[in-house]
């Protein structure tokens, strides 16, 4: 704390150029015993680009909401402070592209912002076009459904509507978290171009793209206490231990992981067990395989096969058909063509489709897959199916909980877990099915560095134990270092199979 | 899906003030709801059926398809009442089936009523964009903006919820959940679907509300309108047309009753 005070002391509270600030902030979430932000003090001068970092659950988004005034004006959370200065005008871009808009069309959404400010009808269209141009979007006719835009375009539209507010300060809460690499690149290009002369306060996981653009990093711990506050280079240099301890993404995290003993052990293990295709059995064969959602064919695989102990990374743009491939392999949607699983031909099932035995699918949103009220029941369900007796189950459930690093409280409700834990639980339930082929839809998505490596290491262990993994991912590093093969999907076609 | 509901051509009905049109159609539906006069209901049904097919700007095939559910309600409700309804002047009886003059009449009344109300609501729904309806409600009827925009925001959630429903169906299949038959199965489904879908929707609605406030949306703030709606001559025509339809139906000469 002492050091933090010293650093932010550079910008004194009485500086006329301060546009956002809070002193001695304390805040309490309902239902949580602990106080957050123990007397946090922060002053942000005009024009500064401030990145807030911290482990998940450290209150980064909450801090943005406090600084903007959304807490307490729109969201009621009990809090105290000795002084606070809200920005005179501000805008906010949120994480989820699908919950930022209230109107169906682009023009109507932008008009909503202008109407709120009482801008006359006659000025609206020119202001809309100007804002869209600033974020690099252009439409001949502005009256197009927001639903028809890509996720990346939606986030740029959100940024455009923020620009219409003529904000002094812009808050960005992980604007690229739900975007593919292309969308991420676009939104950051638009942000850098349109906000270069404004004060920007942001929370972001994928910091590689922006680390050169920001002036200051504010680092929080699990209780929202200030660990560090200063220039990015200084913070990275002096607080590396904190980044590692809390599993926060920082630019060198992958390089350091690849130099670590954990990674070397994995490499050595892989070389020892020999990943050569020759002595591995073929698990899955596809030929002239087509998947349908409604009438049109959404995905086509001419010919492909998967060996035991492979790790297939399925890559491609949003909407190319990656998730469709997983749904097709789990036979949740109608398919045609040859599909052979462990030597058994899976017949085309136009109606009453069943998931083939030995295949498990883990969805992107782990909550969607929860069926029981306790961790025990959640894991006991698949065990009971594979013939476990009730008195033996308890030990097995504990073993699984331990293996997947989940809380050893079988009575907990699955919804109570953190996002990373929920994700691991969904993998755990799939594994308890005794499946040999594991299909995963972006399992490392939105996870912090610690969870990402933990999940990848679990998957590697499973692969080593003889399972086959087919995983959708956007993360190039995961593809290059963990996968054994990359399947590139383009416009509903398996375009390329690349051995790694 | 949404394109399917776009009209082929824009007619004068589309240009009427949506709020006023809504009010008129609502009044007609209200009168229909309380009426016990078969001739009146039949005339109104014909009148608005014609209205729909001539002025809605939709192809006849689509309109027939959209009318199908109402035709089915007509058949089922009128048949049930006709076959099992009470009555003195029995025409035909066999077991519990008892057809009487009164039951045929009340069957026809209920059937025609649902058909007529369906046709009137189609006239409104097919010629009115929800966005414009709420803009007109705000401007002409002083409907509070916070409710209008909340409704519009909620409409945006519908396709997301449908997609999530599908995902949940898939996930339950993957988890190997088999539902019991009968009422127990309905209860199991309700429980397994509602918890995750509600949890997601509530969170989403909350985020949307915060996003709207972040765009400086405030209660009772003075605002301008992107779509400026007003009354025009068309609204006078429409009013005359609706009044005319009610008058003709009421004054139908005796022989047709």
pLDDT tens-digit series, residues A475-500: 889 999 999 999 999 999 999 999 88
Task: Check whether A5 has a pLDDT greater than 50.
Answer: no
A154-163, A235-244, B76-85, B149-158: range with lowest mean pLDDT: B76-85
Could you tell me if residue A93 is inside a domain? Answer: yes
Contact B153, A99 (CB under 8 A): no
Could you tell me if residue A432 is inside a domain? Answer: yes
Residue that terminates a domain, selected from A185, A220, A253: A253
Q: Which residue of B has its CA nearest to A72?
A: B210
Could you tell me if residue A266 is inside a domain? Answer: no
Same-domain status, A432 and A474: yes
SS3 state of residue A101: coil
Q: What is the pLDDT of residue A12?
A: 45
pLDDT band (50, 70, 90) for residue B257: low
| H/E run at residue A339 | strand A335-341
Asked if B167 and A368 come within 8 Å (Cβ–Cβ), the reply is yes
Structural tokens at position B219: 């209660």
Same-domain status, A232 and A318: no
State the burial class of residue B82 (Cβ atoms within 10 Å of its Cβ: 0-12, 13-18, 19+).
Answer: buried
State the burial class of residue B151 (Cβ atoms within 10 Å of its Cβ: 0-12, 13-18, 19+).
Answer: middle
Asked if A112 and B196 come within 8 Å (Cβ–Cβ), the reply is no
Q: What is the pLDDT of residue B99?
A: 84
Q: How many CB pairs under 8 A join A and B?
A: 130
B176 touches chain A (CB under 8 A): yes
Give A427→chain B minimum CA distance, Å: 12
Task: Give backbone dihedrals phi and psi of A388, rounded to 5 degrees, phi first.
Answer: -75, 145
Q: What is the pLDDT of residue B215?
A: 93
Same-domain status, A247 and A305: no
Mean predicted confidence (pLDDT) in A239-265: 89
Could you tell me if residue A9 is inside a domain? Answer: yes
A332 touches chain B (CB under 8 A): yes
Same-domain status, A277 and A247: no
A261 touches chain B (CB under 8 A): no
pLDDT band (50, 70, 90) for residue A4: very low
Same-domain status, A159 and A287: no
Residue that terminates a domain, selected from A191, A221, A253: A253
Query: What length does chain B have?
Result: 257
B161 touches chain A (CB under 8 A): no
A94, A98, A113 ranked by CB distance to B160: nearest: A98
Task: Kindly tell me the number of DSSP H helices and DSSP E strands found in chain B.
Answer: 9, 2
SS3 state of residue B86: coil
Report pTM: 0.85
Q: What is the pLDDT of residue A1?
A: 33
A115, A330, A360 ranked by CB distance to B223: nearest: A115
Mean predicted confidence (pLDDT) in B23-49: 93
B168, B192, B208 ranked by CB distance to A99: nearest: B208
A222 touches chain B (CB under 8 A): no
B224 touches chain A (CB under 8 A): yes
Angle, vertex CA A427, rays to CA A425 and CA A431, nearest 5: 115
Same-domain status, A287 and A434: yes
Task: Check whether A231 has a pLDDT greater than 90.
Answer: yes
A147-161, A308-322, A397-411: range with lowest mean pLDDT: A397-411
Q: Which residue of B has its CA nearest to A363?
A: B171
| H/E run at residue A282 | strand A282-292
Mean predicted confidence (pLDDT) in B89-110: 84
Report the C-alpha gap between A299 and A494 in whole angstroms: 8
pLDDT band (50, 70, 90) for residue A434: confident
Residue from B71, B49, B66 nearest B5 by CA: B66
pLDDT digits over A299-348, tens only?
999 999 999 889 999 998 888 899 999 999 999 999 999 999 988 999 88
- Substitution target from A368, A423, A429 for chain B, most B beta carbons within 10 A: A368
Q: What is the pLDDT of residue A15?
A: 56
Residue from B10, B49, B22 nearest B249 by CA: B49
Angle, vertex CA A177, rays to CA A173 and CA A180, nearest 5: 145
Report the C-alpha gap between A351 and A353 in whole angstroms: 5
- Substitution target from A73, A102, A442 for chain B, most B beta carbons within 10 A: A102
Same-domain status, A277 and A242: no
Kindly compute the dihedral angle of the four CA atoms of residues B202, B206, B208, B214, in this order, to the nearest 10 degrees: 180
Report the C-alpha gap between A113 and A136 in whole angstroms: 19
Same-domain status, A220 and A308: no
Non-local (6+) Cβ contacts of A444 within 8 A are A451, A452, A455, A456, A473, A475, A478
Structural tokens at position B185: 């199965």
| H/E run at residue A415 | none
Same-domain status, A339 and A244: no
A75 touches chain B (CB under 8 A): yes
pLDDT band (50, 70, 90) for residue A276: low
Could you tell me if residue A163 is inside a domain? Answer: yes
- Substitution target from B130, B139, B214 for chain A, most A beta carbons within 10 A: B214
Same-domain status, A466 and A408: yes
Report the C-alpha gap between B139 and B226 in whole angstroms: 11
Could you tell me if residue A263 is inside a domain? Answer: no
Asked if B174 and A369 come within 8 Å (Cβ–Cβ), the reply is yes
Query: What length does chain A have?
Result: 500
Mean predicted confidence (pLDDT) in A208-212: 87
Q: What is the pLDDT of residue B9?
A: 86
Q: Is the peptide bond before A72 cis (omega within 30 degrees of 0)?
A: yes
> Which residues span the domain enclosing A129?
2-253
ipTM confidence score: 0.85
In chain A, residues 407-466 whose CB comes closer than 8 Å to chain B: 415, 429, 433
pLDDT band (50, 70, 90) for residue A8: very low
**Chain B contacts of A370, Cβ < 8 Å?**
196
Q: What is the CATH number of the domain that holds A455?
A: 3.40.50.300
| H/E run at residue B178 | none
A7-16, A425-434, B171-180: range with lowest mean pLDDT: A7-16
Mean predicted confidence (pLDDT) in A63-83: 92
As beta bridge partners, residue B216 has none
Mean predicted confidence (pLDDT) in A51-63: 88
Same-domain status, A183 and A325: no
For chain B, what are the domain ranges? 2-135+232-256, 145-214
State the burial class of residue A138 (Cβ atoms within 10 Å of its Cβ: 0-12, 13-18, 19+).
Answer: exposed
Report the C-alpha gap between A469 and A275 in whole angstroms: 14
Could you tell me if residue A199 is inside a domain? Answer: yes
How many other CB atoms are there within 10 angstroms of residue B136's CB atom? 26
Q: What is the pLDDT of residue A2?
A: 35
Mean predicted confidence (pLDDT) in A124-138: 94
Non-local (6+) Cβ contacts of A446 within 8 A are A177, A178, A205, A419
Report the C-alpha gap between A384 and A391 in whole angstroms: 11
Could you tell me if residue A464 is inside a domain? Answer: yes
A479 touches chain B (CB under 8 A): no
Report the C-alpha gap between A169 and A165 in whole angstroms: 10
The domain total for chain A is: 2
**Chain A contacts of B204, Cβ < 8 Å?**
96, 98-99
Task: Check whether A126 has a pLDDT greater than 70.
Answer: yes
Residue from B70, B79, B183 nearest B123 by CA: B70
As beta bridge partners, residue A109 has none
A77 touches chain B (CB under 8 A): no
SS3 of chain A: helix, strand, coil, percent, to 5:
40, 25, 40
pLDDT band (50, 70, 90) for residue B167: very high
Mean predicted confidence (pLDDT) in A384-402: 86
A373 touches chain B (CB under 8 A): no
- Substitution target from A361, A371, A383, A433 for chain B, most B beta carbons within 10 A: A371
Asked if A368 and B196 come within 8 Å (Cβ–Cβ), the reply is yes
Asked if A114 and B225 come within 8 Å (Cβ–Cβ), the reply is no
Report the mean per-residue pLDDT for chain B.
89
Asked if B208 and A100 come within 8 Å (Cβ–Cβ), the reply is yes
Non-local (6+) Cβ contacts of A272 within 8 A are none
Could you tell me what percent of chain A has a pLDDT over 90? 52
A33-47, A246-260, A262-276, B217-231: range with lowest mean pLDDT: A262-276
Same-domain status, A160 and A293: no
Contact A442, A456 (CB under 8 A): no
**Chain A contacts of B164, Cβ < 8 Å?**
368
Q: What is the pLDDT of residue A124?
A: 96
B153, B221, B224 ranked by CB distance to A120: nearest: B224
Q: Which residue of A has its CA nearest to B204?
A: A99
Q: What is the pLDDT of residue A153?
A: 92
Sign of the four-CA dihedral B68, B70, B74, B80: positive
């Amino acid at each position: 704390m002492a050091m933090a005070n010293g650093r932010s002391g550079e910008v004194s509270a009485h500086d006329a150029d301060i546009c956002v600030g809070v002193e001695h902030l304390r805040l309490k979430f309902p239902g949580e015993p602990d106080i957050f932000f123990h007397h946090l003090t922060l002053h942000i001068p005009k024009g500064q680009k401030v990145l807030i970092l911290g482990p998940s659950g450290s209150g980064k988004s909450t801090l943005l909401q406090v600084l903007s005034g959304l807490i307490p004006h729109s969201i009621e959370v009990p809090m105290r402070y000795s002084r606070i200065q809200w920005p005179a005008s501000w805008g906010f871009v949120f994480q989820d592209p699908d919950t930022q808009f209230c109107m169906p069309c682009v023009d109507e959404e932008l008009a909503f912002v202008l109407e709120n400010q009482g801008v006359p009808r006659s000025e609206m269209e020119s202001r809309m076009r100007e804002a869209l141009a600033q974020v690099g979007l252009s439409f001949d006719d502005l009256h197009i459904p927001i639903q028809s835009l890509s996720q990346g375009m939606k986030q740029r539209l959100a940024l455009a509507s923020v620009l219409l507010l003529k904000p002094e300060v812009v808050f960005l809460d992980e604007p690229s978290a739900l975007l593919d690499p292309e969308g991420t690149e676009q939104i950051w290009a638009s942000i850098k171009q349109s906000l270069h002369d404004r004060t920007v306060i942001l929370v972001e996981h994928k910091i590689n793209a922006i680390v050169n653009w920001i002036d200051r990093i504010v680092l929080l711990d699990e209780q929202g206490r200030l660990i560090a506050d200063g220039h990015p280079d200084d913070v990275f240099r002096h607080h590396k231990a904190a980044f590692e301890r809390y599993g926060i993404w920082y630019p060198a995290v992958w390089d350091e992981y690849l130099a670590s003993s954990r990674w070397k052990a994995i490499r050595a293990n892989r070389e020892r067990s020999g990943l050569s295709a020759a002595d591995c059995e073929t698990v899955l064969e596809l030929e002239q395989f087509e998947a349908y959602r409604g009438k049109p064919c959404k995905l086509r695989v001419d010919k492909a096969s998967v060996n035991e102990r492979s790790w297939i990374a399925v890559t491609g743009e949003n909407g190319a058909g990656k998730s469709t491939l997983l749904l097709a392999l789990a036979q949740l949607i109608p398919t045609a063509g040859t599909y052979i699983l462990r030597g058994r031909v899976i017949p085309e099932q136009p109606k009453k489709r069943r998931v083939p035995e030995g295949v498990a699918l883990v969805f992107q949103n782990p909550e969607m897959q929860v069926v029981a009220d306790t961790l025990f029941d959640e894991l006991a369900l698949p065990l009971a199916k594979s013939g476990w007796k009730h008195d033996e189950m308890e030990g097995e459930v504990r073993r699984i909980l331990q293996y997947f690093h989940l809380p050893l409280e079988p009575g907990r409700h699955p919804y109570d877990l953190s996002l990373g834990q929920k994700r691991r639980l969904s993998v755990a339930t799939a594994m308890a099915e005794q499946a040999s082929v594991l299909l995963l839809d972006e399992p490392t998505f939105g996870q912090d560095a610690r969870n990402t490596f933990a999940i990848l290491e679990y998957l590697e262990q499973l692969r080593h134990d003889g399972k086959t993994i087919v995983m959708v991912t956007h993360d190039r590093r995961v593809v290059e270092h963990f996968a054994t093969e990359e399947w590139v999907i383009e416009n509903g076609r398996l375009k390329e199979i690349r051995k790694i | 899906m949404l394109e399917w509901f776009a009209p082929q051509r824009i007619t004068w009905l589309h240009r009427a003030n949506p709020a006023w049109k809504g009010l008129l159609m609502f009044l007609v539906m209200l009168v229909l709801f309380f009426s016990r006069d078969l001739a009146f209901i039949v005339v109104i049904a014909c009148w608005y059926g014609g209205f729909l097919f001539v002025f809605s700007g939709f192809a006849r095939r689509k309109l027939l398809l959209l009318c199908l559910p109402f035709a089915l309600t007509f058949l089922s409700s009128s048949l049930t009442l006709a076959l099992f309804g009470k009555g003195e002047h029995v025409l035909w009886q066999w077991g519990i089936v008892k057809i009487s003059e009164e039951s045929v009449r009340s069957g026809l009344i209920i059937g025609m009523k649902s058909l007529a109300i369906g046709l009137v609501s189609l006239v409104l729904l097919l010629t009115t964009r929800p966005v414009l309806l709420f803009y007109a409600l705000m401007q002409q009827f002083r409907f509070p903006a916070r409710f209008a925009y909340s409704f519009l925001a909620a409409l945006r959630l519908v396709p997301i919820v449908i997609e999530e429903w599908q995902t949940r169906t898939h996930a339950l299949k993957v988890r190997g959940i088999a539902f019991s038959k009968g009422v127990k199965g309905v209860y199991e489904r309700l429980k397994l679907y509602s918890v995750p879908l509600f949890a997601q929707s509530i969170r989403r609605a909350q985020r949307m509300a915060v996003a709207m406030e972040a765009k400086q949306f405030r209660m009772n703030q003075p605002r301008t309108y992107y779509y400026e709606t007003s009354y025009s001559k068309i609204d006078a025509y429409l009013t005359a047309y609706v009044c005319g339809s009610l008058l003709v139906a009421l004054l139908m000469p005796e022989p047709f009753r």
